[in-house]
Structure 1
Amino acid sequence: MIVMDKAGLQAFLARDFAQVADDFVVERADAQGLCLRLRVQDRHLRPGGTVSGPAIFALADVAMYLAVLSRIGPVALAVTTNCSIDFMRKPQAGVDLLAEARVLKLGRSLAVGDVMVFSEGGVDPVARAGLSYSIPPAR
């Protein structure tokens, strides 16, 4: 069940994570998962003109964070407890990246999911990540 829609998630990012909010656009948040866009800028690139690993990692992490929040609401203190990422191929130059995040298990204190990252318009994934999040107890 979706508790926060894409507009609510985007507003949450702007309010609580203003330092990075302009980098990301929530494209979709529904029962199947969440799609998050990284607006690729020069600061995201590494030598050779490709998107850097840290920028791809940030996209995967923020996508899963928002996918979890879409289910539990605006819990700012939910935190990443584990991430494993496979960088599979070089992103296409000059295009945004899209992350497709799925929540695979949502418990009271732990959420587990996966994220596939694609160059916009591409069919082959750039990266795949498995993440878990700790959910703080309700007060």
Structure 2
Amino acid sequence: MGLQMSAAELDTFLKAEFPQVSGEFAIEEVGEMRIRTRLLVGERHLRPGGTVSGPSIFALADVSVYLAVLAMIGPQGLAVTTNCSIDFMRKPISGVDLIAECRLLKLGRVLAVGEVLIFSEGGEAPVARASMTYSIPPKG
């Protein structure tokens, strides 16, 4: 199948279709069935105690799988999350960005399944692990 969208094309798509969140994420690397993204952690992502909130970590996982799917199938804005399981394993390192390492495990005609490991920048152990399923809209 091969890549259908580059990191620059994905970034342009995100800015056009989801301007409300496009400045929160950076696409670091795109490859066949994989992507590396970054949550640009700011004050708005923190919960009491100064750690990154669960919803912010979920958003990074969700955006990562979404972009990995689009990189492979092209700009289809109506691909949607149909299932998610996320494990929050340890507290993120305070004051640093979060990095998502995502790979697609299955990319079918109707469904895509992805796995995401999320790390604090500079950390060795993952802070979260997510498994997500996306529904791909029919062509035409």
Same fold (TM over 0.5): yes
Q: 1:50-129 to 2 correspondence within 5 Å?
A: 50-129=51-130
State the aligned residue count: 139
- TM-score, L = length of structure 1: 0.99
Query: Which residue type is aligned with residue 95 of structure 2?
Result: G
Using the alignment, how far apart are the partners of 1:65 and 1:101 within structure 2? 10
Gaps of 5+ in 1: none
**Match in the other structure for 2:8:** 7
Using the alignment, how far apart are the partners of 1:136 and 1:107 within structure 2? 11
Cα displacement (A) at 1:44: 0.2
Using the alignment, how far apart are the partners of 2:68 and 2:128 within structure 1? 17
Using the alignment, how far apart are the partners of 1:11 and 1:123 within structure 2? 31
Gaps of 5+ in 2: none
Question: Cα–Cα, structure 1 residues 107 and 32, in superposed 2: closer, same or farther, change >3 Å?
Answer: closer
Percentage identity across paired residues of the two chains: 63
Query: Which residue type is aligned with residue 90 of structure 2?
Result: R
**Residue deviations 1:76-113 (CA, integer Å, cap 9, x gap):** 00000000000000000000001011010000000001
Cα displacement (A) at 1:131: 0.3
Query: Which residue type is aligned with residue 129 of structure 2?
Result: R
Using the alignment, how far apart are the partners of 1:20 and 1:113 within structure 2? 21
| RMSD over aligned Cα atoms | 0.6
- TM-score, L = length of structure 2: 0.98
